[in-house]
Structure 1
Amino acid sequence: MLAKLALLSLFITTSMSAVAAPTPMPEKGGVINVAIIGEPPTLDPMASTTDLVGTISQHIFETLYTFDARWQIVPLLADALPTISDEGKTYLIPLRKGVTFHDGSPMTAQDVVASLQRWESIASRGRQTATLITDISAPDENSVKITLKTPYAPLLALLSLNNSAAVILPQAEAKQNPLTTFTGTGPYQLKAHKPDQYIQLVRYDGYHGREGEPQGYGGARKQYLDEIRFVPVPDPNTRIEGAVSGQFSYVDSLPVESFNRIKSGKDRPVVLKPMGWPVFVMNTKQGVTANLKIRQAIQAALVPQDMLAAAFGSPEFFEVDGAMYPKGNIWHTEAGTEAYKPAGDMAKAQSLLREANYQGQTLRILTSRQYEFHYKMAQVAQAYLEAAGFKVKLDVQEWASLTQNRANPEKWDIYISHSPFLPDPSLSGVMSDTSPGWWTSDKKHAALTAFNSETDATKRVALWANVQTVINEEVPIYKVGNFNSLSAQAPVLQGVTPAPWPYFWNAWLAK
């Protein structure tokens, strides 16, 4: 069904060693240091949609399902894909036996029920789904049943994602909010967390993984490494220097203009193509951007070609594209993209400002320099928005602070973020009424309900065009374009598959 739609694999690298040496056999042991863009706002994967949290927490916690290397949905803690009955309204999920939490206790159906109920109340994507769920129960010790009011095609994809994630916790911990202990079923467990210094994960010797071969995020999760340390390095220049000098085993999210420098350093560059899309999220709940005409004026004033050039430099690292998915992806459509102008439309922006009766209120843009391309796009956007007649203030914050402050509608009008090309459009945060931005409208609900309730794969593709059209008309977000990402990897680190959320099970150190 949905899984068959996900044909575009992101798990590719375009810039590794020109000549591949024979790969030695994996060896057990060793410690790696992974440079990340900053201190995560939380280690609770239900409570955050940030990639940073998902990257770290996926090593500790697991979901019932996940995605393989072709973005197809595969079982993880579930034993198999669910049995779906009652015209798509009942999902019976068999659970794997022998799975234990990091405290040694066995995973039970009651743990799964309690975890999914917590996900319904805490996670933004869980709250989005909760309105359609009538019951979550355990018919027996080895299965869980989810009953829906109406068919909901994205359910399995939502249960598979690693941020705002439906991770499985011990029943007692599922009652915590905020989460104060972090007991998962994953291949690595949390040993120490020293904020702004490191997050130390060590091998969980009781891990009961899946059999077979690795398959992207699915399949076998081999525990070759003794320890993984995630080290916050907020300054991008420091991350560059760390990659050049070989200070880290892996360096995430490097400015793409450093590619040639990284190439000549000790670590090797890793390019993920395509990675995803930068996005300006609008506050539709209150403030200046609650006015549709204002949002449309912003849409017209922005010049994506210049923002992408400033952020990524070489055209090899970006594509000017207003469609939510790139060409070649099953979800690609040009529907509604007429409002996306590569060179902007300043006259239209100024006309819309007059129609909106704009009175010079400050347009507050939240951004961060930890993702340097966010900040560079913000600077270019500020110039064009001011030329259109806006009064603009850039509020530059640490990424952890930004992800907390975006939850308060009084503190911003636009925040800048990015997303990978997710395997199902319904996974995007803008689809949720409760995600920061708080976009709700009759047009949205009509288009999205039709899309989400349709289970026929071909019909869903056609219905997605209607959703994209509404996004472009009501401008809850502004997609800037497509981009490729740059990371760096030490030559001795083997077994890492380039992915939007890098993972280090299956990785090992060559002697």
Structure 2
Amino acid sequence: MMLDTFGKAGLLAALLAGTSLALPAYAEGTLDIAMIGEPDTLDPMMSTKGVVSIATQHFIETLYTFDSAWNIAPLLAVDMPEISEDGLSYRIAIREGITFHDGSTMDAQDVVASLDRWLEVATRGKLVAEKVASVEATGDYEVTITMSEPYSPLLSLLAFSNSAAAIYPEEIIGESIDEPIGTGPYMVAEHVPDRYLRVVRFDDYVSRDEPSDGASGARQQIPDEIRFVPVPDANTRVEGLLSGQFDFADSLPAESYARLEGSDTAEPILQKPFGWPIFAINHKAGLLTDLPIRQAVQAALPIDDMLFAAFGDDTFFQVDGPMYPEGWAWRNEAGTESFNQNDQAKARALLEEAGYDGTPLRILTSRQYEFHYKMAEVARMALEAAGFAVQMDVVDWATLGQRRNDPALWDIYITHSPFLPEPSLTSLYDATSRLGWTNPEKEEIMKAFTTETDPAKRQEIFAQLQEQVFTDVGFIKIGAFNALTGQRQGLTGVTDTPWPFFWNSEVSE
């Protein structure tokens, strides 16, 4: 059973004490999810942030998705596409009888309009836009994507809920989408920014028939409502979970693991390995457009110390240089001799070579992910020891998301990513990303990687790309980490994924 109405409503009101607005009364069948911050948009095309993906996947859907083994599976598409022998044509049958939240029926024209917008405005859509010759309705419930050249990651891009190829009604397509109307199992009932986002069961939802497997298959709509509550302070998320305020809490600090493990109300979930912290580098403007200065940053960073400061216990991190962990097909050692140098003297020499003039190195970070901030503090000390002047710009996560879009405002911003099944899903590699990392050799490698379809050959080409990350300092991987989340004891149906979803979840005794 859930907490009774008075108990949970009172707890959640206490959480928001001192604010002008508490959550509405709790109803049986509601799940409360503590997020690290406020989604800055409910249009998943327009964001690569995890908080946006987690929330919006409940009401916005894509043609494809991923199963629990990260295989691509159909969602709004009937099945996997028919692909021509030359790899240039993808014929996709669209499910019939699918209803949008506004009552209109989805057809091929909606899909075409949505994909056209995705190619124009979405970070990941832009990755492939130049390679798409056309997106056409070739039947009432059929769409054909024609490529100008083969592009092996296309289906992975279409399946990803992050910078998503979301399907909307054609009538609402525009530069911005203010009201999120999708086909998902839930629909937005109320959104009070910085307080909560409440989604309720969509009665006209048509689930797939296959067994649930990751995000694929049946979406059972078990909760009546799901409320996503932004709780920027990590310790508040922990306390809220332990006290029964939340059914699930995202991104918890490593030091809370023992308390959760010993709790009789909550339990920890450790995703191992989860992903990698990233120092994203500005190649478009400013100090780090100079390669020797980028190399100085890379040489100075003490990866061991940064990870220990961030996580406190090597149960939660690995000092590991390759872009993928052990056991992944993409694992290789190319370029890793440049990882974790912790050599401030070498960095100082590189700065002298570059004629560094003392311009502050601006590090943009946030405390919503406390481990970002802790890494930044250790990095600042090492960089100052190497001769850098360092300016720490500490902002909330939503502000960081805005500022990183303006290359005039930062030199490094700190982020992280889960390990993704297809490297091309990581937009950092692409010249069109907000980093703007490009050079002729790397672009040649990227083209070879995305046009090759043989898996073994793609692995070899990816090793060349990883070498470029280190030699040209495209961005800096800060080891690897395990992610800690937590849930109420008795909560079932939450798939182990970086972007948890709750349509199959319920709480029992």
TM-score (norm 1): 0.93
> What does residue 176 of structure 2 align with?
178
After superposition, give the CA deviation of every residue in 1:452-506 in whole Å (9 maximum; x if it has no partner): 0001111111111011111111112100011001111011322112210011011
The letter of the residue matching 2:64 is Y
> What does residue 117 of structure 2 align with?
118
1:93 counterpart = 2:92? yes
> What does residue 5 of structure 2 align with?
none
> What does residue 241 of structure 2 align with?
243
> What does residue 409 of structure 1 align with?
407
> What does residue 66 of structure 1 align with?
65
In structure 2, what is the Cα distance between the partners aligned to 1:44 and 1:458?
36
SS in 2 for 1:219: coil
> What does residue 233 of structure 1 align with?
231
1:259 counterpart = 2:257? yes
- Residue 431 of structure 1: CA displacement? 2.2
- Residue 155 of structure 1: CA displacement? 0.3
In structure 1, what is the Cα distance between the partners aligned to 2:436 and 2:42?
24
In structure 1, what is the Cα distance between the partners aligned to 2:400 and 2:418?
19
In structure 1, what is the Cα distance between the partners aligned to 2:365 and 2:473?
19
- Residue 446 of structure 1: CA displacement? 0.5
Q: Provide structure 1 residue ranges, at least 5 long, that are not aligned to the other structure.
A: 1-27
* C-alpha contact 1:128 1:434 (8 A) present in aligned 2: yes
In structure 2, what is the Cα distance between the partners aligned to 1:48 and 1:411?
19
In structure 2, what is the Cα distance between the partners aligned to 1:148 and 1:471?
28
In structure 2, what is the Cα distance between the partners aligned to 1:208 and 1:29?
24
> What does residue 447 of structure 2 align with?
449
> What does residue 336 of structure 2 align with?
337
> What does residue 460 of structure 1 align with?
458
- Residue 215 of structure 1: CA displacement? 0.8
In structure 2, what is the Cα distance between the partners aligned to 1:432 and 1:447?
11
Q: 1:490 aligns with which of 485, 488, 491?
A: 488
* C-alpha contact 2:196 2:227 (8 A) present in aligned 1: yes
> What does residue 214 of structure 2 align with?
216
1:303 counterpart = 2:309? no
1:294 counterpart = 2:293? yes
In structure 2, what is the Cα distance between the partners aligned to 1:96 and 1:457?
30
Q: How many percent identity over aligned positions?
A: 52
In structure 1, what is the Cα distance between the partners aligned to 2:298 and 2:441?
19
> What does residue 373 of structure 1 align with?
371
> What does residue 165 of structure 1 align with?
164
> What does residue 423 of structure 1 align with?
421
In structure 2, what is the Cα distance between the partners aligned to 1:198 and 1:161?
24
The total of aligned residue pairs comes to: 482
> What does residue 18 of structure 1 align with?
none
> What does residue 9 of structure 1 align with?
none
* C-alpha contact 1:39 1:196 (8 A) present in aligned 2: yes
Structure showing greater relative contact order (alpha-carbon pairs closer than 8 Å, 6 or more residues apart): 1
The letter of the residue matching 1:43 is L
In structure 2, what is the Cα distance between the partners aligned to 1:385 and 1:218?
45
SS in 2 for 1:253: coil
Q: 1:385 aligns with which of 383, 386, 397?
A: 383
In structure 1, what is the Cα distance between the partners aligned to 2:175 and 2:134?
21
- Residue 437 of structure 1: CA displacement? 1.1
> What does residue 316 of structure 2 align with?
317
In structure 1, what is the Cα distance between the partners aligned to 2:409 and 2:44?
24
* C-alpha contact 2:44 2:56 (8 A) present in aligned 1: yes
Question: 1:9-24 maps to which residues of 2 (within 5 A)?
Answer: none
- Residue 330 of structure 1: CA displacement? 0.7
* C-alpha contact 1:29 1:509 (8 A) present in aligned 2: no
- Residue 435 of structure 1: CA displacement? 1.6
* C-alpha contact 1:244 1:264 (8 A) present in aligned 2: no
In structure 1, what is the Cα distance between the partners aligned to 2:28 and 2:76?
26
> What does residue 269 of structure 1 align with?
268
> What does residue 205 of structure 2 align with?
207
* C-alpha contact 1:29 1:508 (8 A) present in aligned 2: no
> What does residue 6 of structure 2 align with?
none
In structure 1, what is the Cα distance between the partners aligned to 2:320 and 2:165?
32
The letter of the residue matching 1:429 is S
> What does residue 51 of structure 1 align with?
50
The letter of the residue matching 1:479 is K
In structure 2, what is the Cα distance between the partners aligned to 1:498 and 1:255?
18
The letter of the residue matching 2:467 is T
SS in 1 for 2:306: helix
After superposition, give the CA deviation of every residue in 1:42-96 in whole Å (9 maximum; x if it has no partner): 1110000111101111111111111101000110111111111150011111111
- Residue 352 of structure 1: CA displacement? 1.0
In structure 2, what is the Cα distance between the partners aligned to 1:185 and 1:197?
25
- Residue 29 of structure 1: CA displacement? 6.2
> What does residue 361 of structure 2 align with?
363
In structure 2, what is the Cα distance between the partners aligned to 1:503 and 1:141?
31
> What does residue 345 of structure 2 align with?
347
In structure 2, what is the Cα distance between the partners aligned to 1:184 and 1:508?
23
* C-alpha contact 2:90 2:146 (8 A) present in aligned 1: yes
SS in 2 for 1:201: strand
In structure 2, what is the Cα distance between the partners aligned to 1:510 and 1:261?
22
TM-score (norm 2): 0.93
* C-alpha contact 2:38 2:230 (8 A) present in aligned 1: yes
- Residue 349 of structure 1: CA displacement? 1.0
In structure 2, what is the Cα distance between the partners aligned to 1:79 and 1:354?
60
> What does residue 136 of structure 1 align with?
135
In structure 1, what is the Cα distance between the partners aligned to 2:379 and 2:95?
50
SS in 1 for 2:315: helix
In structure 2, what is the Cα distance between the partners aligned to 1:257 and 1:102?
42
* C-alpha contact 2:468 2:474 (8 A) present in aligned 1: no
In structure 2, what is the Cα distance between the partners aligned to 1:177 and 1:255?
38
- Residue 263 of structure 1: CA displacement? 2.0
In structure 2, what is the Cα distance between the partners aligned to 1:412 and 1:42?
22
Question: 1:101-116 maps to which residues of 2 (within 5 A)?
Answer: 101-116=100-115
SS in 2 for 1:294: helix
SS in 2 for 1:410: helix
In structure 1, what is the Cα distance between the partners aligned to 2:310 and 2:197?
29
